[in-house]
Amino acid sequence: MTIKTIITEPNKILRQVSKPVEKVGKEEQQLMDDMLETMYSANGIGLAAIQIGVPKRIIVMDINQDKNKKKPMYLVNPVIKNKDNLKSTYEEGCLSVPNQFAEVDRPKNCDIEYLDYEGEKKFLKAEGLLATCIQHEMDHLEGILFIDYLSKLKKSMIVKKLSKMKSSRIVV
């Protein structure tokens, strides 16, 4: 297992639409292992493959707070089957938008279908933080970031800050 570098805004790679996985094989499983280790090391609760530069429709998540009780989830080719008309608001963050947080409204519940680590078809009814996280991760598969839901002004302020942070990190 390897900890990979997480790509941060602004970066066009994050805007790519990820491609469906044809078969969950060794390569995909190794990718999921790397993604999980990368996510844990960054203290995140979810990670999409594109965040480490791989445009495949693969997500790993662990919304469990207790670090001693790891409950990893692997979602390949997830599809939302149904979502709630009822919305809920969460303060969201993103490992690709470091240290920036904002409230986002999303459907409160959603049902999804996906392939698991073994490539088996699964169905999941998600609510609360799990539903929010799944939708946040599935947005990554479409090249969408949570800051895209903010006002133009808020979004541009965040992108500006991140650009500055990036340029100030260039060491000649």
- Give the distance from CA 125 to its chain's centroid: 18
The torsion angle over the Cα atoms of residues 153, 157, 159 and 161, rounded to 10 degrees, is: 180
The verdict on 48 binding ligand GNR (CB under 6 A) reads yes
Nearer to Ni ion, 94 or 110 (CB): 94
Segment contacting ligand GNR (CB under 6 A): 9-17, 38-46, 67-75, 152-160?
A: 38-46
In the block, tokens 């790397």 appear at: 34
Which residues, including other chains, have CB under 8 Å from residue 63's CB and lie 6 or more apart?
Answer: 45, 46, 71, 129, 130, 133
The verdict on 133 binding ligand GNR (CB under 6 A) reads yes
The verdict on 78 binding ligand GNR (CB under 6 A) reads no
Nearer to ligand GNR, 121 or 154 (CB): 154
The verdict on 45 binding ligand GNR (CB under 6 A) reads yes
Using alpha carbons, list the distances in angstroms from residue 74 to 12, 38, 68, 126, 134.
25, 14, 19, 14, 11
Q: Figure out which of the listed residues 56, 57, 106, 140 binds ligand GNR, where binding follows CB under 6 A.
A: 140
Segment contacting ligand GNR (CB under 6 A): 24-32, 66-74, 76-84, 87-95?
A: 87-95
Answer yes or no: 91 catalytic: no
Enter the tokens of residue 4.
């990979």
Residues identified as active-site:
137
Residues that bind Ni ion (CB under 5 A): 94
